[in-house]
Chain A
């Protein structure tokens, strides 16, 4: 396999009720990525696109094909990836494979979502499609509901009083907002306090409003190229060091591992093994914080803390810039926003910028970051991990 680099990216603002269509958001992010890579649309050989609910939110399927035409990548093969919230990271991993194999030299990986157009009831219904429709949806399960149940299970399994766990979880949201303030693309640019989190509307016990990421509109895109092409186009290529992906069954079928998500442990091991690296080598991480508890569960499976202990990372500030493992310095899904089809591309975009040292002006640069981790979860069990490395 050849070395593959990310050479440029684009990222729209993440917002509630965007006046733009999912296509316009996607095309703007994609053209930015192509232009910043010193390329023209005709240079793109294939498109890999994450989009989850365009069918429901705008009556638009097959958006990847229309994107190709809209931005002038006429007739290139364009594929849509659907792995719920992990869709764009799946797209990026496949894009990587196709370039690594030597089949293509330059491809576009991207994602878009216009979830807020659905309104909360339909959005809640469609997001619940990423749980088992036959055996679990009839109980009225929703996405907050799944993570709410994992929160109670986590407290029980690790003997942490729920009140204490809730306070630790509040710190996760507070930190995310403190960095979202500094991210110009973030949906929420305001600080919040532990008290505000604990006062919020109870969505699904014990998770309150500020434990939950929002519905969002937005898009992000990246251009991937083979090493030889990358070196001609940029002096700051960021290389793929390792990738991993795994799947899971319905929540109840994961009974032997919960609240751990076994798929993450499988996927991240693939990426660490491929990179020849371990958790201690990661300088900065964007992980899938769809709910505050999801951050704790993820950090443990990625190897940053012992099981049941990751709350201490946030308590001690180890997840902040200057800490042991800076996490979600973008503001995370919680504060930056979570347009599900775009999220993986957004996480990757932020890690690339960290590894290029481009975030000094925004006041959220992890100094000297050379190795970054992307962790994206779809539904109750699709996981994709990427390890990226600056040269």
Chain B
């Protein structure tokens, strides 16, 4: 360790968790807020008295879009649906939604309960390696 300040939960550890379908977050021991995806500090009180905690991986869709235009190298993925999910623990995270025809999504998606899976983005020239994203499916 070269610095005194160190991430309690690095992106690598977060990705490794997702690959086992485990959603890891940070619980603040001072204000109880859950920070997810991870940051250096608590997203509410900015404290660093944080501990890694496994979240339930359940939540509800707060917003969504089906994208018909994909960035370079990801054209074959389109169309795909992106969602922001409010976790039961309060934090929001971004992921993709499966179990639905991307062409048929509408406002009725908002509020739908979802549960977590994962999918690996193998990475491209600019991503310094792979990424892992939540892949949500309906839980209601």
With A135-B93, A138-B121, A139-B96 known as contacts, the answer to whether A149 contacts B72 (CB < 8 A) is no
Contact B70 A124 (CB under 8 A): yes
- In this complex, what residue of B is CB-closest to A138? B131
Out of A125, A144, A249, which one reaches B67, CB within 8 Å?
A: A144
In the complex, identify which listed stretch (A98-106, A152-160, A341-349) lies at the interface while the others stay far away. A152-160
Contact A136 B70 (CB under 8 A): no
Q: What residues of chain A lie closer than 8 Å to B82, measured between beta carbons?
A: 139-141, 145, 149
Interface residue B98 (Cβ < 8 Å from any Cβ of A): no
With the chains together, A356 CA to B14 CA distance in Å?
55
Contact A121 B67 (CB under 8 A): no
Interface residue B99 (Cβ < 8 Å from any Cβ of A): no
Contact B105 A252 (CB under 8 A): no
With the chains together, A330 CA to B82 CA distance in Å?
33
Interface residue B139 (Cβ < 8 Å from any Cβ of A): no
Out of A122, A162, A207, A251, which one reaches B94, CB within 8 Å?
A: A251
Interface residue B91 (Cβ < 8 Å from any Cβ of A): yes
Most chain B C-beta atoms within 10 Å of own C-beta, residue among A140, A202, A253: A140
Contact B71 A128 (CB under 8 A): yes
- In this complex, what residue of A is CB-closest to B129? A134
With the chains together, A203 CA to B71 CA distance in Å?
12
Contact B43 A253 (CB under 8 A): yes
Contact A204 B96 (CB under 8 A): no
Q: In chain A, residues 105-149, which have Cβ atoms closer than 8 Å to a Cβ of chain B?
A: 120-122, 124-125, 128-129, 132-142, 144-145, 148-149
Contact B84 A149 (CB under 8 A): yes
Q: In chain B, residues 81-119, which have Cβ atoms closer than 8 Å to a Cβ of chain A?
A: 82, 84, 86, 91-96, 105-107, 110
Interface residues on A, range: 35 or more
Out of B62, B66, B124, which one reaches A205, CB within 8 Å?
A: B66
Contact A140 B74 (CB under 8 A): yes
Interface residue A150 (Cβ < 8 Å from any Cβ of B): yes
Contact B94 A204 (CB under 8 A): no
Q: What residues of chain B lie closer than 8 Å to A162, measured between beta carbons?
A: 106-107
Interface residue A250 (Cβ < 8 Å from any Cβ of B): yes
CB distance from B80 to the nearest CB of A (A): 6
With the chains together, A141 CA to B131 CA distance in Å?
13
Q: What residues of chain A lie closer than 8 Å to B110, measured between beta carbons?
A: 152, 156
Most chain A C-beta atoms within 10 Å of own C-beta, residue among B80, B84, B91, B92: B84
CB distance from B138 to the nearest CB of A (A): 17
Contact A139 B127 (CB under 8 A): no
Contact A255 B67 (CB under 8 A): no
Interface residue B133 (Cβ < 8 Å from any Cβ of A): yes
- In this complex, what residue of B is CB-closest to A259? B63
CB distance from B74 to the nearest CB of A (A): 6
Interface residue B45 (Cβ < 8 Å from any Cβ of A): no
Contact A255 B86 (CB under 8 A): yes
Contact A138 B71 (CB under 8 A): no
- In this complex, what residue of A is CB-closest to B118? A138
Contact A142 B67 (CB under 8 A): yes
- 13 additional A-B pairs beyond A121-B71, A140-B74, beta carbons within 8 Å, are A120-B69, A124-B69, A138-B132, A139-B133, A141-B82, A144-B67, A145-B65, A149-B63, A152-B110, A153-B84, A156-B62, A205-B105, A255-B92
